Structure 1
Amino acid sequence: MKSDFKFSNLLGTVYRQGNIVFSQDGKQLLSPVGNRVSVFDLINNKSFTFEYEHRKNIATLDMNKQGTLLLSVDEDGRAILVNFKSRNVLHHFNFKEKCYSIKFSPDGKLFALATGRFLQIWKTPEVNQDRQFAPFVRYRVHAGHFQDLLSLTWSSDSRFIISTSKDMTAKIWSIDSDEKDLASTTFAGHKDYVMGAFFSGDQENIYTVSKDGALFVWEYSAKPTEDEDEEEDEEDIDLSKYSWRIAKKHFFYMGQAKVKCVTFHASSNMLVVGFTNGEFRLYELPDFVMIQQLSMGQNPINSVTINQSGEWLAFGSSKLGQLLVYEWQSESYILKQQGHFDATNSLTYSPDGSRVVTAAEDGKIKVWDVASGFCLATFSEHTSSVTQVRFAKKGQVLFSSSIDGTVRAWDLIRYRNFRVFTAAERISFNSLAVDPSGEVVCAGSLDSFDIHVWSVQTGQLLDTLSGHEGPISALAFSIENSVLASASWDKTVRIWSIFGRSQQVEPIEVYSDVLALAVRPDGKQVAVSTLKGQISMFDIEDAKQVGNIDCRRDIISGRNLEDRFTAKNSERSKFFTTINYSFDGLAIVAAGNNNSICLYDVPNEVLLKRFVVSKNMTLNGTLEFLNSNKMTEAGSLDLVDDDGENSDLEDRIDNTLPGSRRGGDLSTRKLRPEVRVTAVEFSPTAAAFAAASTEGLLIYSVDNSVVFDPFDLDVDVTPQSTLEVLAEKEYLNALVMSFRLNEEYLINKVYETIPLTEIPLVANSLPVVYLPRLLLFIGNFSLESQHIEFNLIWIKAILSAHGSYMNLHKHIFATPMRAIQRFIGRIAKEVVSLGTENKYTYKFLTSTDGTVAGEDEDVLLEGASEDDEEQDDEDINVDSDDETGWVGFEGKDNKLPLEANNDDSSDEELI
């Protein structure tokens, strides 16, 4: 059992707050998810989350035009500079003020920062600059606004910058001191906040958009005079008569809605506006022609951006955590994702490990693809919060239990609900277990002391298992022998034989309230987590305790803001509420209402590794000690509601309902989220485990890049040494060395040199680390290659040797297998069309016994054998002497060449 798990991805959350940014090539979208940054690859359909964390939620971020540096700033003004290519943190910096916007200049030399009512301009750190004490050097500070800044926009030549503010004005600033007089202008005239200001493509006009829906077009012109007929020479232009003036005024007329966000694409003159009612519009400027008008819901659109080509629009809405990428020309969605609105209750892996299903308090069930990080489907048939989800063994059927009193079965092939199970009376189900055969489903409740058993085929209630003297807290089936284990508040664990004749069971005394239960995969041991912070292991056959782990000292418990006691004296989180066995039963992962996920070694009863769930200080329970400067006699200053001091009306009004969100006191309107993990589970592939937390669905996996490879330690791996090894007929070593060097020409050379007889041996001995790369190479190379049978033999040998491993790691081989399928599909189509077109030629050639009319009878077709009976025994014939790769297909007596030899012109005319 490997223990070197590391954070690999964050699922279940796609957008929280702040601005979203496209990469320079427009293929990737960066979205802030709490105190982390997620990147969505829109071309390859993948996503990943940076490993670094901020101390608080991210307020704004931006990436330079070169695509190398990412700068993100949290709510307190603490910034982290990251190398986007290598994903390494370069520098931490504190701006010591709240930042509203950050923008890199188009040339990448500077970046502008909106902090309060000041505009700060900083130099971008460079590799080739002189060594200095601080990587960040402030270049200039501009002050001129009277209220907080809202947005920043650079000119295309990086000479000017426009800032907009809540003081209903916009200002243009110059980077160079020599041009200060040309750019000392205030754009006034709006009657509400100026949400954005933009340069036109030729920088002759400036567009400003206000919150009340007004668009002003400004142009640099002279003041109109009475002597308009007198034309001045171009050389004698008096700049003192010129100024920025309003040329046109346009209005959106959107009723009660306000402008929430706006962006402009200069090269296509397209303006995109998002409103507080969830509507967005596309306008063409300067004529102000509305192109499209759509809605993404009823909640405000918080952020909008356009990619470099102007084809894709990205929208973010923080109310429900929605992220949308829209192609406006084809009116289609490139990406449409939404996380859970409320706390996640449960998760489960599919049997092949390629998908994770989550259930939440919002009554929705979401299916997530582990490899891509995207949500594949959402089920919303439950009318109340979903408490638990479980897969059947084959992975095609999913079961879920809910507080609404139903257990539902879902078909994951057609994505529909096909069964609803209910009890004789309406009770809320909180635990669920599915028989490995998929014939029986069981559910327990806190309202009843009985376990309900249904038939999946008929939907009928088969039995109610009575015996517990308290509410049922957890259920679990054994994978091997279909034994059901149940835990209850009566401080006992019972083992039921569902399919046995006798239902007499003896309770196993635990001497404490059982919070979670897990059965070892072989069905011989059961582990329970108790309220006293212990994990106890019991032998199922003998009903005896075989082990115990004391977890209290391993748990990192934080102090909530409203706590009157220290974290050391807190008993609230000194236990685990969810546990799960590893695939081999040698390890247990455990988590609960605290900031730690612990991995334990079962035979030795020791802690292997502890993971910190989150470092986000905006969550309750992440800090062990509170800030004494904020502590008063009435409690912490962070608990004081200061929303009434906000400048925006919509920020002052609180429309939330008491008890509408889970956590803390249900009578309060606003809740400070508490860090907790509601479910953990190992992947069936044993390479990862998932944890459903307050921050989202955390995926921890074993880093495959650190798998030991002896060639990593060899400094003599060069192209010359690779060719020497190839000449010595060490084909496996040569192939691995070529992949280590990652030179395509070298891989091609080694790949085509390996003889047919050696292919099965090389494929069988190839390390699994190189399997995806080899398959992807074959899939891409074979589309242009002439050696059809050679590539097919390679594919067959790889699938025969490593098919079972590939089946367990489908998410790793998804892209290579698509390339292979594309090759096979295209070749099959070409072969069918070729055979149809040459049907009569083929019949003629087979009827002439290998001779061609008009030629000497001694001349035989290349590839045609003199002994027809020997030819019938072979399906496909390859002439190894021919460098162009002679490939034929089985006929009656002869083979039809797909490509002719250059020396034989008569054969070229046959096709």
Structure 2
Amino acid sequence: MLSRREDFIPDWRLGHFANSTMRRLAGTLLTLLPLVGTLLGASPGSREEIFSAEEKLARPSSVKLESDADRFDLIRVFGYGWGPVDYSPDGRHIASAGASVVFLLDAQTYQIERQLFAEDTMGTMSVQWSPDGHSVAAASFDPPRVHIWDAATGELRVRLQGLNRPARSIAWSPEGSRLAACGANEIRIWDVKTEQILRTLSGNNSVAWSPDGRYVVTGFDEVVRIYAVETGQLVRQFERHRAIVQTVAWSPDGRYVASSGSAPFDLTVKVWEVETGLLVWTLPQNGGDAALAWSPNGAYLAAGSGSIKIWGAKSGQLVRSLGEGQTLALAIRWIAWSPDSARLVSGGGRVIRLWDVTTGDRITSLPGHSGTIESVAWSPEGRYIASAATDYLLNDRSIRIWDKDTGEPVRVIRDDICRYGFRAVDWSPDGKYLASVLLCDQPSIVIWETATGTEWRRWSGLVVYSVAWSPDGRYLAWGALDRKIRILEVDRWEIVKILADPMELGSSIAWSPDGRYLACRAGRQEIWIFEADTWEIVSRLPGRNHADFITWSADGQYLASRDGSSFGLANLINIWEFKTGELIRSLEDIQQVRGLAWSPNGRYLAAAEVYFIPSIKIWEVETGQMVARLLGHTDVISSVQWSPDGNYLASGSWDSSVRLWGVRTSE
């Protein structure tokens, strides 16, 4: 039995932050500031203040929670990363970085062999193999540091600290004993063994070593700079770019340095002769901020932005274009050559692609989501997780079914008619079907056979917000734009009841565990509960504003819901006793909520919270104490769902990843 609300006085508080909308607006303003400054006469290369403001927005709370409750550990991330990529020196593996995870893939089969995690980190900006192939380094966004793992075991060996700002580029020295990291206005060079900083230099965005390990090249505003590592002395600089230098790369023979400018002021790649400082070529790009990589044999220079252009190193002539005509969809931001110079791997637009350089053909695209994940759902036996994505630009628009144990996608479901993607997904109790809500010109509910991925039934009409199977699988309920809830008898494929009221119904619906009741949002403030046999209202639970994201306790005695403004900073999670309608407890200090789930054992409530740093907060229901805050997603967390046995929690995010958290009992 839960304690009454008056017995609970919270003894912890977390700071209130702006919601996701404010965070995105701030990001947009920060992006526009260089352009505005230029129009007003300021240099387009001066961004120190911008980075400072950006990082203040991005830094998470440093709250540490101590509790005897269960531990929640990140087990797996489903997907293949969002962009940073690198080939291993022997060509057998590819490292691909995602939201706070690095995937190690077999370069021939593209199977994930290992996932590398670092606790309490946000985002991965860059990844690179060590020259001997034994280690993998990756730069995290927050806190700004570099992690180094043993590639064979996955053990986190080294944390390189001392960065003031996130490193956008990292580079191992040729002999592998040192590592350089470059962020906004600073380069740090460490001794990897001692973890001591050897040198601090000025630089922006990118860093690369000379083949002999004596020098590093970087950009500083519109200038390319070369430093002697031993002394820190500036020995050469090249000044022909018209905007911030984004990327630099040193040729394998050490004779040339390539650099790329920034959109929209400088859409060029420049190649410089190091010894003389001569500008050898200026190469056009069809997009700015090009990624650069020399082929290991020194024959080619690859530059990727909207597509990938491969230039002859001796002639400066365009040899091949990869992905031409697909500029918007590709959005190349990272590229890496295979050691034999025959293949390229590219990352960008949340898609990893492999290319054959000789033919120009795309070999494969790794089958992860590129769109924003809107919903996740567990199969009834707990073996699979379904994730549904919406994608207006990058042609994802899919449901993917993932094997929980292997992390591999076992099925990809697409709808050829739908232009935008899927809003919600729910698994039938027998596991044979998936119900999905499609966002299309003709909005639809489609039921898919999970064994084959083929369409079984379709209902088209109004825009649908939510969909839910009854526990016995007999009915499918959904709430639509016309503020009505429809109850469909699945076997007959016939709507047997329409629940309507002058108040808005149905943007959030949830069946009781025994299937006898259906709870739904009514208007802006209330939750109504209908009896499934008579469809009469048996209870009305009052709220403050926007009562939604309803979830039942496993025994059916309690309901929980979000209560608060869609865009407001302060939300509550209300817990109600179903039979009496009594408000038992309100959980406070939570920002905008996008998902809510009650654990099967009734002990925990998990809430997907949206503000500066997306997180999942977990409360112990009996005490009202928050026992965990799970970080790692880098964009809005749209859905959280417990596995049927309660041993795992799955979360889906607009960062295109599904994360699997394991519950480690404290007993």
Q: 1:273 aligns with which of 295, 303, 311?
A: 303
Distance, in Å, in 1 between the alignment partners of 2:307 and 2:638 is 35
Instruction: Select which of 160, 163, 167 maps to 1:95.
Output: 163
Find the counterpart in structure 2 of residue 534 from structure 1.
574
- What one-letter code is carried by the residue in structure 1 that aligns with 2:171? K
Alpha-carbon contact 1:170-1:197 (below 8 Å) kept: no
> Could you tell me how far apart the structure 2 residues matched to 1:74 and 1:314 are?
21
Identify the residue that residue 261 of structure 1 maps to in structure 2: 291
- TM-score, length-normalised on structure 2? 0.70
Q: CA deviation at 1:274?
A: 0.7
Which aligned pairs between 1:609-620 and structure 2 lie closer than 5 A?
610-614=627-631
Q: 1:61 Cα shift? A: 4.7
Within 2, Cα distance between the matches of 1:206 and 1:506?
Answer: 76
Inter-partner Cα distance in structure 1 for 2:179 and 2:318 = 33
1:302–1:315 contact (8 Å) kept in structure 2: yes
Structure 1 unaligned residues grouped into runs of 5+: 127-134, 220-242, 558-571, 620-672, 709-911
SS at match of 1:533: strand
2:466 aligned residue:
431
Q: Say if 2:611 is the partner of 1:591.
A: no
- Confirm whether residue 393 of structure 1 aligns to residue 429 of structure 2: yes
Q: Deviations over 1:751-802 (max 9, x none)?
A: xxxxxxxxxxxxxxxxxxxxxxxxxxxxxxxxxxxxxxxxxxxxxxxxxxxx
Amino acid aligned to 2:497: D
Max radius of gyration: which structure?
Answer: 1
Per-residue CA distance 1:653-712 (angstroms, 9 max, x = gap): xxxxxxxxxxxxxxxxxxxx7x6x543211235431112356553321146xx999xxxx
Q: What is the identity percentage for the equivalent residue pairs of Structure 1 and Structure 2?
A: 14
The corresponding residue for 2:85 is 20
Pairwise CA distance, 1:443: 0.9
Change (3 A) 1:161 1:111: same
Equivalent position to 2:144, from 78, 81, 86: 78
- Separation (CA, whole Å) in 1 of partners of 2:428 and 2:628: 30
CA spacing shift, 1:176–1:420, aligned 2, 3 Å: same
Match of 1:419 among 445, 451, 457: 457
1:349 to 353, 378, 388: 378
- The corresponding residue for 1:7 is 74
Q: Tell me the distance in 2 between the aligned counterparts of 1:196 and 1:698.
A: 31
Cα offsets for 1:188-208 (capped at 9, x unmatched): 6677776656555454x4253
Aligned to 1:860: none
TM-score where L is the length of structure 1:
0.53
Q: Residue 366 of structure 1 aligns to which amino acid in structure 2?
A: I
Check conservation: 2:81, 2:103, Cα contact below 8 A. no
Q: Is the 8 A contact 1:200 1:269 kept in 2?
A: no
SS of structure 2 residue aligned to 1:612: strand
Deviation at 1:63, TM superposition (A): 4.5
Deviations 1:24-77 (A, max 9, x none): 44444444445x2332423533563514234x6554454533456555445688
Structure-2 change in CA distance of 1:365 and 1:544 (3 Å): farther
Name the one with the larger strand percent. Answer: 2
Q: CA deviation at 1:263?
A: 0.2
Name the residue aligned to 1:293. Answer: 321
Map residues 368-407 of structure 1 onto 2, 5 A cutoff. Answer: 368-369=401-402, 370-373=404-407, 376-377=411-412, 379=414, 381-383=417-419, 386-401=422-437, 405-407=443-445
| Gap change, CA 1:215 and 1:678, over 3 Å in 2 | closer
> Structure 1 residues 115 and 209, CA, compared in 2 at 3 Å: closer, same or farther?
closer
Q: 1:65 is matched by which residue type in structure 2?
A: P
Q: Which residue of 1 aligns with 2:130?
A: 64
Distance in 1, Cα, partners of 2:384 & 2:407 = 9
Distance 1:347 1:89, change over 3 A: same
The structure 2 residue matched to 1:471, chosen from 501, 505, 510, is 505
CA distance change for structure 1 residues 530 and 286 in 2, over 3 Å: closer, same or farther? Answer: closer
Instruction: Give a deviation string over 1:311-332, Cα, whole Å, max 9, x none.
Output: 5422222xx4333233545744
- Per the alignment, in what secondary structure is the counterpart of residue 94 of structure 1? coil
State the SS of the aligned residue for 1:152.
strand
Partner of 1:38: 102
> Following the alignment from structure 1 to structure 2, what is the Cα–Cα distance between the partners of residues 683 and 445?
27
Contact 1:432-1:444 at 8 Å conserved across structures: yes
- Matched position secondary structure for 2:297: coil
Task: Give the Cα separation in 2 of the matches to 1:442 and 1:115.
Answer: 51
The reply to whether residue 325 of structure 1 matches residue 285 of structure 2 is: no
The RMSD of aligned alpha carbons is: 4.3
CA distance in 2, matches of 1:301, 1:556: 40
What is the aligned partner in structure 2 of residue 629 from structure 1? none
Contact 1:600–1:608 (Cα < 8 Å) also in 2: yes
Query: Which structure has the highest helix share of the two?
Result: 1
Please point out which of 634, 654, 659 is paired with 1:698: 659
Q: Distance in 1 between matches of 2:293 and 2:105?
A: 22
**Counterparts in 2 of 1:145-160, with a 5 A limit?**
148-160=203-215
Q: Distance in 2 between matches of 1:190 and 1:468?
A: 63
User: CA separation in 1, counterparts of 2:145 and 2:641?
Assistant: 34
Instruction: Return closer, same or farther for 1:97/1:534 CA change in 2, 3 Å cut-off.
Output: closer
The one-letter code sitting in structure 2 at the alignment partner of 1:45 is: I
| Equivalent residue, structure 1, for 2:53 | none
Matched, 1:136 2:167: no
Higher RCO, 1 vs 2 (CA within 8 Å, ≥6 residues apart):
2
1:451 to 476, 485, 490: 485
Question: What residue number does 2:264 align with?
Answer: none
Q: Secondary structure of 2:366's match?
A: strand
1:159-204 deviation line (CA, Å, top 9, x unaligned): 3434455535453x44457x99xx945556677776656555454x
